[in-house]
Amino acid sequence: MKKLLISIFVLLFVSNAAVAGSVHGSGLVKKVYFHSASAVIADDWKGMLQLEIDSLSWNLTTDCNTTYVAVRAADTHIISAVLAAKMAGSPITVYANTDLKAVGSYCYVRAVGL
């Protein structure tokens, strides 16, 4: 029984790692939405930054949204980089994991390239 449980655990771990994918896409930051830390409709949006990226196309097939991505409030370094790119009119590359979503198909940004 112990071997069976270990085998199931290993199988679940390996299959979960295989499903979680890393994607990236590039585009211009069209709009930046700052959500309130207290007055929100859904708890998932507290303090979040929402980016609208023009012509975002992912490098792999994904269910991540092709217009909007989310940045956690704690990622102030990413927020600063995004705002700098927006002000300069420079394209950015956003990196996300397909299994980490804020709401619906809005994937969390885990890194930004300028």
**Contacts (Cβ under 8 Å, ≥6 apart) of 30:** 52, 53, 54
Query: Rounded to whole angstroms, what are the CA distances from 86 to 37, 49, 102?
Result: 22, 14, 22
Could you give the number of structural domains in the chain?
Answer: 1
Domain membership flag for residue 106: yes
Domain membership flag for residue 55: yes
Measured distance CA(49)–CA(47) in Å, rounded: 7
Domain membership flag for residue 67: yes
Q: Which domain holds residue 69?
A: 21-113
- pLDDT (0 to 100) of residue 44: 76
* Global pTM exceeds 0.85: no
Euclidean distance between the first and the last CA atom of the chain, given in angstroms as a whole number:
52
Q: Tell me the pLDDT of the chain (114 aa) as tens digits.
A: 554 334 444 444 443 444 468 999 999 999 999 989 887 777 777 889 999 999 899 999 999 999 999 999 999 999 999 999 999 999 999 999 998 888 889 999 999 999
Domain membership flag for residue 92: yes
Domain membership flag for residue 12: no
Domain membership flag for residue 5: no
- Residue 47 sits in a domain whose CATH number is 2.40.50
